[in-house]
Amino acid sequence: MRLEELKRGMLVAGVSPDGAVTLKNVESDGDGAVEVIFKNATGDIGERLLFRSDEANLKVVREDGGWRFDGDGARFRLAAEARRSGRLTSSIPGWRYTPRSWIPTRTRSPQSTRGC
């Protein structure tokens, strides 16, 4: 891997002897050097100056592309429906809401509640 290919958010092995690290900042220091600020698996922050001689040791474990849309669609729909019906955001259970719950009680007739 070349030094120019290093980007913020990548999970890279070979930067630290502790294992793979997440790059927090990558700054060029001339033609043959890059200064990286990284975070290891335990959460410790580190800083290192990488040279062309270090390129052979660098390996991308994961390239973080930002937001991902590869989650389970069925679980997303379930969570979206629970939030829409108020089960996740309200202290009143979602089953208490009906399509006609906006009608005041005194104006309801037995015919208006049968479809619920």
Q: pLDDT value at position 80?
A: 86
The tokens 């849309």 sit on which residue?
69
Distance CA 112, CA 49 (A): 73
Could you please report the per-residue DSSP string of 42-109? TS-EEEEEEEGGGGGG-EEEE---SS---S-HHHHHHHHHHHHTTTTT-SS-GGG--TTTTS-GGG--
Element (H, E) at 16: strand 11-16
Domain boundaries, the chain: 1-90
Domain covering 1-90 assigned CATH 2.30.30.30 in the classification: yes
Q: pLDDT value at position 64?
A: 65
Pair 84, 78: CB distance under 8 Å? no
**pLDDT by 10s per residue, the chain, length 116:** 889 999 998 999 999 998 999 999 999 988 889 999 999 989 899 999 999 999 999 999 887 655 667 788 999 898 888 888 765 555 555 555 555 555 555 655 566 555 55
Q: pLDDT value at position 14?
A: 93
CA 31 to chain centre: 34
Q: pLDDT value at position 84?
A: 80
Residue partners of 89: CB distance under 8 A and separation at least 6: 83
Q: pLDDT value at position 115?
A: 53
Count the alpha carbons within 13 Å of 55 in the hemisphere toward its beta carbon: 12
Q: pLDDT value at position 30?
A: 84
